[in-house]
Chains A and B, each alone.
Chain A
Amino acid sequence: MIKIKEILFSLFLCILTVNSIQADTLFVNTGHIKSIKEAISRAKSYDVILVSKGIYKENNIVINKPIKLIGQDLPILDGEKKYEIITITSDSVEVNGFQIQHVGKSYTMDWAGIKVDEKDHVVISNNKLYDTFFGIYLKKTKHCKVWNNSLETTSVDEVNSGNGIHLWDCENISIVGNHIVGHRDGIYFEFVEESEVRDNISENNLRYGLHFMFSNNDIYDGNIFKNNGTGVAVMFSKNIIMTNNIFLENWGSASFGLLFKEIYDGILYRNVFQENTVGLYADGANRIEVKENEFIKNGWAINILGNSQDNTISRNNFLSNTFDVATNTKTNPNLFEGNYWDQYTGYDLDKNGIGDVPFRPIKVFSYVIGKIPESIILLRSLFIEMLNFAEKVAPVLTPETLFDESPNMTRIEYD
């Protein structure tokens, strides 16, 4: 009898605990709960809050418990240009399916559409952010997902705009499938470790499409960076892996497809640089492997400054660039080998597919332009052609050791 009582009691306990773990679903706007704030205050941990279509002007919504906040048919959260909209101050929160618009501007507070404040395991997905100062802002967080959001602002100058997805002091963050338009930096990383940026489109941003500062061991893969001030800037960082990205149409006097500044030990593999003023600009880039990339129709494919050492540039295709390589030194501390240069005029007598004479990708005229930018007007003139030819025959100004000893005769096909 006592046994049965014990069993019954433990069963009762079980049911009790199961009940308390079980997530409830709260409905906003369809039932008697009228506001999201009210739903959050009523919710228990791990509840789901479903928000139906409508416009919600609830100034700053603080999510302070682990819940799922899900919008149905894209309900609108409006900050009326006065507030930050969602602030997450709990672990394990999910925000999915909202249109978040009109964040207030504050220069001291960095207000955002969605901010995660020192909490982990947050998922932000399928939201549409419009006219936010900062879009999604992660501060000191770990293990978060930012997936399939679209962020758009119409800011006109860099000063009065924030970054699209802004990460500061984070670890293990996954940023996948977002579309970011018109911010200061599309995606900004400062002190971010072990994180990935995949399959995003970042375009028409005023400064950089993607910006790394003091961030190590990160990867960006399969993104498109189009028509930004500069496509991607990797600065003061180590071990960044850059694969399968497209850098497109970053035009302007100080615009680059990809900018390296004080970085070490990276891999740049299978990317396409097309129609940029400068495809790749390397200022203090060291031990970077630049392999199997395509440089197509850029003003300069690569501009590599003298403070960049021990880089390997191999098996890339250089097609229809005005200048293939430029530099500002007379020595060459980098290795160029096995690339295809469409400006190569050498021959291949032994028919092994590799040119018999080395290719010197630096034209003397690119030096002249480096010193006197206005001289670009002389490009394609007979005088310049003669100058280039003379330098090719007897190098004086260009680095004697900068050449590709084994230039490919045909465009390299990547599988």
Chain B
Amino acid sequence: MILLVVSVCTPKESPIMYGMEKCHYCQMAIVDQKFGSEMVTLKGKVYKFDATECLINYVRTNNIDWQDLSMILTNTLDKPGELITVEHCYFLQSENMPSPMGMFINPISKKHLALEYQSKQNGNIYSWDEVKDVVKEGY
């Protein structure tokens, strides 16, 4: 019984149902498997977004403390449909690579791939902590 309660409360990720679920911030259906993202609170509540831009804006506009989130995950260009911890990702912002919310932020899971994209498309590579400041408020 206790085990059951514990397992219910343990925060865990939940797969995004592409095309069926809507972004918690901007209302658009989450369709692009390269850009979806989600966060899980300490209590285990899951919020899903169509892009990391929306996640950052949602956290900011609702004054959520980053410390209150147990997991932040994103899809990446190189592994579409897979959710990867944002701290392990690289974020390439390049004017030649559109993203769903118009801020040109493309998550990539491997550093050498990020550099490869950058050599072709220019732009800057940011870590998760840096990209939080790159995203302007409210689009």
B15 at the interface (CB under 8 A from A): no
Task: Name the interface residues of B15-35: CB closer than 8 Å to any CB of A.
Answer: 18-19, 22, 26-29, 31-34
Q: Quick one: given A107-B80, A261-B27, A283-B27, are A168 and B33 in contact (CB under 8 Å)?
A: no
Contact B18 A214 (CB under 8 A): no
A135 at the interface (CB under 8 A from B): no
CB closest chain-B residue, reference A168: B98
Contact B27 A158 (CB under 8 A): no
Taking CB atoms, residues of chain A closer than 8 Å to B33 are 107, 159
Q: Quick one: given A259-B27, A261-B27, are A214 and B77 in contact (CB under 8 Å)?
A: no
Q: Quick one: given A107-B80, A207-B29, are A159 and B19 in contact (CB under 8 Å)?
A: yes
Complex Cα distance, B38 from A280, in Å, reads: 29
Q: Quick one: given A207-B29, A207-B31, A262-B139, are A157 and B98 in contact (CB under 8 Å)?
A: no
Contact A213 B102 (CB under 8 A): yes
Complex Cα distance, B102 from A235, in Å, reads: 12
Range class of the A interface residue count: 20 to 34
Taking CB atoms, residues of chain B closer than 8 Å to A233 are 28
- Which of B22, B29, B77 gathers the greatest number of chain A CB atoms within 10 Å? B29
Taking CB atoms, residues of chain A closer than 8 Å to B19 are 157-159, 206
Taking CB atoms, residues of chain B closer than 8 Å to A226 are none
Option from B22, B32, B102 in Cβ contact (under 8 Å) with A191: B102
A17 at the interface (CB under 8 A from B): no
Taking CB atoms, residues of chain B closer than 8 Å to A206 are 19
CB closest chain-A residue, reference B98: A168
Taking CB atoms, residues of chain A closer than 8 Å to B77 are 108
Contact B29 A107 (CB under 8 A): no
Task: Name the interface residues of B53-109: CB closer than 8 Å to any CB of A.
Answer: 77, 80, 98, 101-102
Taking CB atoms, residues of chain B closer than 8 Å to A207 are 28-29, 31
Range class of the B interface residue count: 10 to 19
CB closest chain-B residue, reference A159: B18
Taking CB atoms, residues of chain A closer than 8 Å to B80 are 107
Mask of A209-252 contacts with B, CB within 8 angstroms, 1/0 = 00001100000000000000100010110000000000000000
A337 at the interface (CB under 8 A from B): no
Complex Cα distance, B22 from A203, in Å, reads: 21
Contact A157 B29 (CB under 8 A): no
CB closest chain-B residue, reference A233: B28
A115 at the interface (CB under 8 A from B): no
A294 at the interface (CB under 8 A from B): no
Taking CB atoms, residues of chain B closer than 8 Å to A235 are 26, 28
Taking CB atoms, residues of chain A closer than 8 Å to B101 are 213
Contact A107 B102 (CB under 8 A): no
Contact B34 A107 (CB under 8 A): yes
Nearest-neighbour CB distance to chain A for B89, whole angstroms, equals 16
Mask of A261-302 contacts with B, CB within 8 angstroms, 1/0 = 110000000000000000000010000000000000000000
Option from A108, A158, A213, A254 in Cβ contact (under 8 Å) with B31: A158
A193 at the interface (CB under 8 A from B): no
A190 at the interface (CB under 8 A from B): yes
Task: Name the interface residues of A171-210: CB closer than 8 Å to any CB of B.
Answer: 184, 190-191, 206-207
- Which of A159, A190, A262, A283 gathers the greatest number of chain B CB atoms within 10 Å? A159
Contacts A/B (CB < 8 Å), 16 sampled: A107-B34, A157-B18, A158-B29, A158-B31, A159-B18, A184-B31, A190-B98, A206-B19, A207-B28, A207-B31, A213-B101, A235-B26, A236-B102, A236-B139, A261-B26, A283-B27
Besides A158-B18, A191-B102, 5 new A-B residue pairs in contact (Cβ under 8 A), listed by A number: A107-B33, A108-B77, A214-B139, A235-B28, A262-B138
